[in-house]
A and B are shown apart, each in its own frame.
Chain A
Amino acid sequence: MEPSSSEYKKLLKKAERLAYLAAICLFISIGLLYLRVYDPNLNFLNASNKDLVEIVDEDLIVDGIHIRTGFVEDDGLMTVVNNCTTCHSSKLVIQNRMNTDRWNATIKWMQQTQNLWELGPNQKIIVDYLVKNYPPIKKGRRASLTNLNWYELKE
């Protein structure tokens, strides 16, 4: 015998509830599995926001400066970061000022003596970035004294 339409609706509702229950069970088991793998001691229960170790964003850029390295934001930034700060500090790069020829010569020197790898097409990206953002500054034979912090001398 065919079920009446009201009985049919009841069955449908029952099936719907079962489906919800299954979804909730699945969600909870995924959650437990995640905790088992990543936080077996259930540390998450105790951790409030202030207890969290600060997670530093390695790619953070503020006011056009890549915070982790101090490099200027521009095309090629991450290529420079990834190739030029593995062995030495970005500070060594930033304080130097060279033209294309001399940056290329410096790269060659680092490859010959300092274990720098072949840069391939990245070399042009890196050198273009450096020459554009850290060009030589004309200083002449003796520059004026600058950045003076004037102070009243006691006595």
Chain B
Amino acid sequence: MERRKFIKKASLTSLAALIGTEIVFGSNMLKDYKPLALQENDPFKLFNLDNEMVILNDKPWNIEAKAHLLNDNITPNSKMFIRNNGVIPEDINEKTWTLTIDGESVKNKKTYTLNELKSKFKQHTYQLTLECGGNGRSEFDPPAKGNQWTVGAVSCATWTGVRLKDVLEDVGIKNDAVYIGYNAADTHLSGDATKEPISRGAPMRKALEDETLIAFKMNGKKIPISHGFPLRLVAGGWPASVSGKWINRISVRNKEHDGTKMTGTAYRVPKNPVSPGEKVKDEDMKIIESMPVKSLITSPQSGAIIKKGAALKINGHAWAGDLQVSKMEYSIDFGSTWTQCEINKPVNRLAWQHFNATINFPKVGYYEIWARATDSNNMAQPMLLPGWNPKGYLNNACHRIAVKVK
């Protein structure tokens, strides 16, 4: 944000120097007008992204990874999906930033500065899996409305912050507390200051978990602006929209939080299974909580050609919302037979787990390697698309890569 201020103050001469050419008719520009050439809109520079990241939407920013980009055990900023609902806030000042805890179910409303949060409460660090509720939406038929995520709207970064439960305990909450809801500094796309882009939350049982953090660091550094600098609520294993970015207020509610994108059909699926394309009434929809079991083969990249007789090493990650992955398998014959992969225990609860296997192919030809994870409740990923739903959430169908043996 400093760059922006700098440009505003800069003279025409320095503007010309920045652009690398003279600004013709420059003296007629409005004082605070930023020339189009300087309105930084290259997301790769703006957010330090890997050049293979895929831009789904540039207003608001929605950017996803490809499977092979997610090979790191801990997702770096450059390969982490971005899902924004509104406009990233400008002119953020860490020193004056505050978090207010209020709502029907707090004993007394309380406001903390960033420094107070950091010094008053014990800090914790966890690797937490964040997956967009709509990851995989692009595969639904009939198509579902929204950003057409393929497989890359998932990450597992290291988050450092204070436990929400410690802060809520310090504030004091009443017995009738049901839900928490966040408010944040991002602004509505329409520019309407009375509208919020998103204000979601979680029931108290999730809010009070050890791993639910008010975070100020990601991967050991200040949270990047695109991921919620200076403060983000992080609730791993649930739709990433619960993990509000740029938060400045958390309300403890005596009812289900009713902020923007909590109601209607947003982040909801039908209570009962429906046929593809069926209309579902709002009252027949329920809020998504823990995300379903899922996995990704992150190496090799799909499309590998190997020599006959060569063994192929594969690896990737698996996760299961609030649960653990108990079994990881692969198939090279479209599910006729499955072979178990080696899979690690999670580093901590809600962190994704890493798997690997070495595969030998019986003869030359085209193969697909399908990966299937099973969670600790014995629920496995389906090979076909799971139940259709109007908004295209929760596609946890098996990931697959193509391989040729020559």
List the interface of chain A (C-beta within 8 A of B): 38-41, 43, 46-47, 50-53, 56, 87-89, 91-92, 95-98, 102, 106, 114-115, 136-143, 145, 148-153, 155
Contact = CB atoms under 8 A, between A and B. Distances in A.
A106 B145 contact: yes
Which size class do B's interface residues fall under? 35 or more
A142 B397 CA distance: 9
B25 interface: yes
B190 to A, nearest CB: 4
Nearest to B146: A96
Given A91-B56, A150-B305, 16 more contacts: A43-B25, A51-B21, A51-B24, A53-B19, A87-B189, A87-B190, A88-B57, A92-B57, A102-B145, A136-B142, A136-B143, A141-B384, A142-B385, A150-B404, A151-B305, A155-B310
A53 B146 contact: no
A121 B139 CA distance: 33
B259 interface: no
Contacts of B60: 88-89
A151 B304 contact: yes
B306 interface: yes
Contact of A145 (B27, B57, B383, B400): B400
Interface string B367-400: 0100000000000000111000000000001001
Given A141-B385, A142-B385, A91 B25 contact: no
Interface of B: 19, 21-28, 35-37, 55-60, 139-143, 145-148, 188-190, 192, 195, 300-306, 310, 312, 368, 383-385, 397, 400, 402, 404
A81 B86 CA distance: 20
Question: What are the 5 closest A-B residue pairs judged by CB atoms, nearest first?
Answer: A89-B59, A115-B190, A139-B141, A153-B304, A95-B148
A43 B22 contact: yes
A53 B27 contact: no
A121 to B, nearest CB: 23
B117 to A, nearest CB: 33
B262 to A, nearest CB: 13
B145 A140 contact: no
Grouping DSSP codes into helix (H, G, I), strand (E, B) and loop, the A interface class, with mixed when no group exceeds half, is: loop
Contacts of A39: 25
Contacts, number: 104
B143 A98 contact: yes
B27 A95 contact: no
Contacts of A139: 139-141, 143
Contacts of B384: 141-142
B148 A153 contact: no
A152 B304 CA distance: 6
A115 B145 contact: no
A92 B305 contact: no
Contact of B368 (A47, A145, A152): A145
Contacts of A106: 145
A126 to B, nearest CB: 15
Contact of A89 (B58, B190, B383): B58
A153 B190 contact: no
9 contacts: A41-B27, A43-B22, A47-B24, A53-B21, A88-B189, A89-B58, A95-B148, A98-B143, A142-B385
Contacts of B195: 114-115
Contacts of B304: 151, 153
A132 B384 CA distance: 29
